[in-house]
């Protein structure tokens, strides 16, 4: 039985290629596991049928037989454990890969999401611009620490790509695409290595091909405000 994941059939242009089902698609592509996608229109994720699988009304979810999971990190680690190929066999190396997966989501991603909130999602709020310098400072601190730890290594734990790298690259794409990591050549190169992997390219193409829906009416005013540059 092929796993089934959920994804949106429409998102604003800035979110294309960033919705977190991409992480799950990438993991499945890395391990060579076919999957199906159940597409949701915007708003459908907040309705009871989907909330029965994802109590917070988000995507992705993952269904495999009687197992249903939510949270992209948990799903990626399940895929890595279930199908093999993204977690080393050596117990210590396996533990380090899981450690980096948590670091990506719990340490590196939060300030990057704060930046997205302050510049995009709530960019029209009076507090956004005054808050931005402190957000940028936290991002630079985290990226600097990560850059020093990565050094000249190919991947986070040497020469083996793991689930930790998959999640870290997925998170860092937000920084590299916004120019926030430009000071750190090794991080930019690290993300480029990750996104050049054939499995990532297949996952990204699949996600982009799924955006065939239309924006719901309630998004119209928000999109108009964004297009007019009212959100810094």
pLDDT tens per residue across all 232 residues of the chain: 899 999 999 998 889 999 999 999 999 999 999 999 999 999 999 999 999 999 999 999 999 999 999 999 999 999 999 999 999 999 999 999 999 999 999 999 999 999 988 887 766 777 778 878 899 999 999 999 999 999 999 999 999 999 999 999 999 999 999 999 999 999 999 999 999 999 999 999 999 999 999 888 777 666 665 555 443 2
Contacts of 19-22 with C-beta under 8 Å, sequence gap 24+, read 19/59, 19/207, 20/58, 20/59, 20/60, 20/72, 20/170, 21/59, 21/60, 21/72, 21/207, 22/170, 22/203, 22/204, 22/207
Q: C-alpha angle 15/16/18, rounded to 5°?
A: 65
Alpha-carbon radius of gyration of the chain: 18
Give 3-state DSSP helix, strand, coil % of the chain, rounded to 5. 60, 10, 35
Q: Look at residues 75, 89, 67, 65 and name the one whose alpha carbon lies nearest to residue 25.
A: 75
The pLDDT value recorded for residue 206 is 98
pTM of this structure:
0.92
Tokens of 225: 């405000």
């Amino acid at each position: 039985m092929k796993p089934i994941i959920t994804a949106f059939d429409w998102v604003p242009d800035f979110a294309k290629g960033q919705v977190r089902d991409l992480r799950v698609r990438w993991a499945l592509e890395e391990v060579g596991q076919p999957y199906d996608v159940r597409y949701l229109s915007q708003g459908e994720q907040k309705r009871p049928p989907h909330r029965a699988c994802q109590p917070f009304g988000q995507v992705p979810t993952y269904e495999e037989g009687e197992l249903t999971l939510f949270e992209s990190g948990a799903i990626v680690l399940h895929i890595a454990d279930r199908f093999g190929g993204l977690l080393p066999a050596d117990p210590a190396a396996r533990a380090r890969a899981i450690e980096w997966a948590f670091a990506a989501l719990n340490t590196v991603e939060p300030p990057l999401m704060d930046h997205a909130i302050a510049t995009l999602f709530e960019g029209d709020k009076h507090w956004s611009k005054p808050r931005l310098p402190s957000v940028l400072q936290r991002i630079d601190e985290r990226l600097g620490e990560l850059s020093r730890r990565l050094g000249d290594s190919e991947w986070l734990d040497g020469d083996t790509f793991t689930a930790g790298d998959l999640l870290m690259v997925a998170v860092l794409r937000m920084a590299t695409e916004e120019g926030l990591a430009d000071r750190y050549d090794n991080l930019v190169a690290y993300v480029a290595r990750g996104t050049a992997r054939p499995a990532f390219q297949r996952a990204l193409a699949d996600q982009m091909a799924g955006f065939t829906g239309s924006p719901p009416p309630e998004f119209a005013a928000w999109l108009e405000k964004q297009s007019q540059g009212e959100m810094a």
